[in-house]
Amino acid sequence: MPRLNSIADLERHRSELLAAHDADTPRVTICSGTGCHALRSDKVHEAFVDELTLGGLDGRVDLLRTGCHGFCERGTIVTILPQEVTYLQVKPEDVAEIVARTVLQGEVIDRLLYRDGDGVGILREDDIPFYRHQTPFVFGLNRFIDPKDIDTYIVQGGYAALAKALDQMSPQQALDEVKAANLRGRGGGGFPAGAKWQTTRDAPSDVRYVVVNADEGDPGAYMDRSLLEGNPHRVLEGLIIGAYAIGARHGFIYVRQEYPIAVENLSFALDQAHEYGLLGPSVLGSGMAFDVRVHRGAGAFVSGESSALMCAIEGRVGEPRPKYVRTSVSGIWGKPTNLNNVETWATVPLIIDKGAEWFTGIGTKTSKGTKIFSLVGKVNNTGLVEVPMGMPLRQVVYDMGGGIPKGRAFKAVQTGGPSGGVIPERLLDLPVDFDELDKAGSMMGSGGMIVLDEDTCMVDTARYFLNFLAEESCGKCVPCREGLYQMLEILNRICTGDGREGDIELLEEIVETVQGWSLCALGGSAPNPVISTIVNFRAEYEAHIREKACPAGACKALISYYIDPQKCQACMLCLKNCAVGAISGGKKLVHVVDQDTCTKCGTCFDVCPSRFDAVVKISGVPVPEAVPEGTQVTRKRGGANE
């Protein structure tokens, strides 16, 4: 382990690493992020180790276990260099062939390539449509770094920004660069990072803290986890630069306990940074003392709120407190504390390295740089995408996401996590940035994007998010504790067919109270999914209340499955697949659903062959009377048994 006692030592070490690297040595990178890990990437890695050992190729092929590449649903992702061939959905059983054909012979294994819409295999990861439209300035290094090997970060230019700040900038100059970049916080509010840093720096105190918020409690969001897991040194480098600019000697990384790989990789990174002299009494021999502690959060959504998080770090219950004085002035143990999100910190080295002018050249007038989104839901390609601020939503959903599966129609995107709002189809060309999303009644939040299709009920969607928020409310203040509960009660009854006239207006009234009078932003923003679905999809609420119908056919209490006797061909598929025996009928006999036994799981609807289309989902109308038992089917051409 080299001890880097000066900036010159860092530069020398990097040169040595570059000199030792032979670009012609074959290299296999295996994604080992949580997504790929769940798809057995560790077994894929083991298979490569075994195969290379068996073939006597030890030391002749570099094996690199990287962090998440973003396209987790297609894991395990394996890239072979120098050919730059990327294979998706690699299984341990594929490894022997990959070594024999691609690593040794340079041949491409067609079946492991990504296929475009015309079925053509794509070789390079960057050419896959999911990646082609991205600008992965913050996230892109993940693919080239082993998070447990600091040298793989240094060789990519890691810690050069820190060296630049220490060597060429005063703390205030480093801070001014972040201010000039107009970096807005990526954790939710979009507050300007530079202004917050300045407040913390200027607050009178001999002790200041800097903190990374890696709580990431939003369902469906995992960009912070993937950054921390895949490139912990990038976050750490940003934090050290921030500490230098603000004048902090202690830092905390608050990471949720449910992120074991992130915690493990981060702990490794901190140990290595210590050994290298990047943390400790004199960072890179500069005389700046800085140290970091990891605080594991217990996984409560509300603990991601700044004052709650700071209470948790102090060892108290992670609940918000009134912020008469900002945490940047009086935070942990009453000392000025600067809290930023993982992605915000990870962006800082880029700004210092390339300059504020470069950074402000990307994005929109008020939102600069790029943003990582977690694109999930009813979209063909799900995963993490990093795009310049201002990219139209349509491009994200269609060009990168590949559109809506099964030819269904797009309905909306829920942005901003559980307390965000829905963006309906008419706003698909909205440029995605902090202010445009706010104007559209939603928010950026931490970057969750959940795509909803025509089969998604908007009342049920609001109910789902509100249920999450009501459960996660700490209960300390009445508007949030009682208001969310009452709203949930109303949404529950609307979804179960017991909605009443006046319920929508009542919801709107409660929304105002909860938004206006809650203690923290959990309550303040919790009504967003309700109000934005009412504004954009009021007719769906009305149909539930007045016609007892769910237009999307999603609310179980409001739908029924019925077999059209004119269309049923007695193929028996529904009958055989019904788990509760709710379907009667027989060979050549019309099948009938017993409405009392049916659990509305929808299996009969899914298995009925499209050429018959005999199972019908109905809502808001009475189920037609069943045909008498023993009714013979009306045979049609191409029918069953024909």
User: Given the rule CB under 6 A, which of 34-42, 131-139, 513-521, 602-610 is the region that contacts ligand FES?
Assistant: 34-42
> Which range binds ligand FES by CB under 6 A, 68-76, 192-200, 201-209, 461-469?
68-76
d(CA 101, CA 635): 54
- For tokens 């029918």, what's the residue? 639
Distance, first Cα to last Cα, the chain: 76
Number of residues that bind ligand FMN (CB under 6 A): 24
The one segment of 131-139, 226-234, 340-348, 476-484 that binds ligand FMN by CB under 6 A: 340-348
Among 35, 445, 387, 79, smallest CA distance to 226 is for: 35
483's contact among ligand FMN, ligand FES, none, with CB below 5 to 8 A by partner kind, is none
Select 92 or 416, whichever has its Cβ closest to ligand FMN.
416
- Peptide bond preceding 200: is omega within 30 degrees of 0, i.e. cis? no
If the CB atoms of residues 304 and 401 are measured against ligand FMN, the closer one turns out to be: 304
* Biggest CA pair distance of the chain: 90
Judged by beta carbon distances under 5 to 8 A according to partner kind, the member of ligand FMN, ligand FES, none in contact with residue 35 is ligand FES
Q: Which amino acid does the sequence have at 288?
A: M
Three-state SS for 179? helix
Place of tokens 């294979």: 87
Name the binder of 217 from ligand FMN, ligand FES, none, CB < 5-8 A by kind. Answer: ligand FMN
Of residues 166-195, which lie at the interface with ligand FMN (CB under 6 A)? 185-189, 191, 193
Q: Is 539 exposed, middle or buried (0-12, 13-18, 19+ CB in 10 A)?
A: exposed
Q: Position of tokens 């109910």?
A: 463
- Window 271-310: residues binding ligand FMN (CB under 6 A): 301-302, 304-306
CB-nearer residue toward ligand FES: 222 or 359: 222
Cβ proximity to ligand FES: between 143 and 201 the closer is 143
CB of 125 to ligand FES, least distance (A): 10
Q: Is 200 in the site for ligand FMN (CB under 6 A)?
A: no
Selected binder of ligand FMN within 213, 226, 330, 536 (CB under 6 A)? 213
> Cα 27 to chain center, whole Å?
29
Contact call for residues 396 and 373 (beta carbons, < 8 A): yes
Q: Which does 349 bind (CB under 5 to 8 A by kind): ligand FES, ligand FMN, none?
A: none
Nearest to 561 by CA among 605, 627, 609, 495: 605
Q: Per CB under 6 A, which region of 157-165, 337-345, 394-402, 571-579 contacts ligand FMN?
A: 337-345
Tokens 């007038």 locate to: 365
Residue 375: name the closest of 346, 348, 351, 395 by CA.
395
Residue nearest to ligand FES (CB): 33
Q: Decide if residue 193 touches ligand FES (CB under 6 A).
A: no
Q: Given the complex with ligand FES, which of 69 and 481 has the nearer CB atom?
A: 69
In the structure, how many helices (H) and strands (E) does the chain have? 25, 19
**Residue nearer to ligand FMN on the CB measure, 93 or 471:** 471
Judged by CB under 6 A, does residue 347 bind ligand FMN?
no
Under a CB-based contact definition with an 8 Å cutoff, are residues 128 and 74 in contact?
A: no
446 binds ligand FMN (CB under 6 A): yes
Distance CA(236)–CA(21), nearest Å, equals 25
Q: What strands lie across the sheet with 62-66, from one edge to the other?
A: 62-66, 27-31, 78-81, 85-87
Q: Which does 301 bind (CB under 5 to 8 A by kind): ligand FMN, ligand FES, none?
A: ligand FMN
Using rule CB under 6 A, residue 70 touches ligand FES:
yes
Does 69 bind ligand FES (CB under 6 A)? Our answer is: yes
Tokens in use for 500?
A: 């009443």
Contact residue for ligand FMN among 339, 559, 589, 592 (CB under 6 A): 339
Q: Pick from 70, 158, 217, 553 the residue near ligand FMN by CB under 6 A.
A: 217
String marking each residue 219-258 x if it binds ligand FMN according to CB under 6 A: ----------------------------------------
| Rg of the chain in Å (alpha carbons) | 28
The answer to whether the beta carbons of residues 398 and 428 sit under 8 Å apart is no
Instruction: Give the range of 70-78, 162-170, 202-210, 435-443 binding ligand FES by CB under 6 A.
Output: 70-78
Please state, in angstroms and rounded to a whole number, the distance separating the CA atoms of residues 502 and 508: 10
By CB under 6 A, is residue 65 in contact with ligand FES?
no
What span, in angstroms and rounded, lies between the C-alpha atoms of 342 and 372? 11
Query: DSSP letter string over 120-134?
Result: -EE-SGGGSHHHHT-
Residue in 524, 517, 318 with CA at minimum distance from that of residue 419: 524
Draw the binding track, 517-546, toward ligand FMN (x: CB under 6 A; -: no contact): ---xxx------------------------
Rounded to a whole number of angstroms, the minimum distance from the CB of residue 216 to ligand FMN is: 5
d(CA 473, CA 520): 10
User: In whole angstroms, how close is the CB of 419 to ligand FMN at the nearest point?
Assistant: 7
Q: Choose the one of ligand FMN, ligand FES, none that binds residue 31, judging by a C-beta under 5 to 8 angstroms depending on kind.
A: ligand FES
* C-alpha pair distances (Å), 533 with each of 389, 461, 514, 529: 25, 8, 17, 6
> Rule CB under 6 A: which of 14-43 touch ligand FMN?
none
Task: Please give the structure tokens belonging to residue 299.
Answer: 């996984």
Instruction: Tell which one of 52, 61, 68, 545 touches ligand FES (CB under 6 A).
Output: 68
Could you say which of 26, 75, 523, 553 contacts ligand FES (CB under 6 A)? Answer: 75
Task: Write out the two tokens for 626.
Answer: 């069943």
Binding span for ligand FES by CB under 6 A among 72-80, 543-551, 585-593, 624-632: 72-80
Bridge partners (DSSP) of residue 450 are 376, 414
Q: Which residue, 265 or 446, is less far from ligand FMN as judged by CB?
A: 446
Binding string, residues 76-95; x marks residues near ligand FES by CB under 6 A: -x------------------
Q: Are 165 and 284 in contact (CB under 8 A)?
A: no
Q: Is 355 helix (H, G, I), strand (E, B) or coil?
A: coil
Identify what 191 binds: ligand FES, ligand FMN, none; CB under 5 to 8 Å per kind.
ligand FMN
Contact 452, 412 (CB under 8 A): yes
Cα 39 to chain centroid, rounded: 18
Residues binding ligand FES (CB under 6 A):
31, 33-36, 68-72, 75, 77
Residues binding ligand FMN (CB under 6 A):
185-189, 191, 193, 213, 215-217, 301-302, 304-306, 339-341, 344, 446, 520-522
